Amino acid sequence: GLPYADFRYRLKLLRQGADASKLDGIEAFVGSDPFVWIDDERFPGDRERMTALPQPTLFLESNPYVGITREHIARAAEWVTRF
């Protein structure tokens, strides 16, 4: 199957009312590689944290009722050709 980031740690944080950003899991998964993050859920501070990372990153926000679209994939594909 495709690689994926493990977000199970978020359940405990959410139950405790803590910040449960997915970015922690994404950072652990990608290491220092450039990455595209397409998601319909973003926590306050995620975009600022991404811009502070040493590697290139791209966040594309999706609509939770539509999901990932061809436009998202096209933008991501165009972006990764820079590397």
In the prediction, which pLDDT does 28 show? 83
User: What's the angle, vertex CA 33, arms to CA 62 and CA 12, rounded to 5?
Assistant: 60
For residue range 10-40, list pLDDT tens digits in order: 777 667 766 667 887 888 888 999 999 998 8
What CA–CA distances, in Å, run from 4 to 17, 48, 52?
A: 25, 23, 23
Q: Is 23 helix (H, G, I), strand (E, B) or coil?
A: helix
In the prediction, which pLDDT does 63 show? 93
Confidence of residue 2 (pLDDT cuts 50, 70, 90): low
For residue range 58-78, list pLDDT tens digits in order: 999 999 999 999 999 999 999
Distance CA 36, CA 26 (A): 10
Backbone angles phi, psi at 24, to 5 degrees: -60, -45
**Which residue bears the tokens 């999706």?**
62
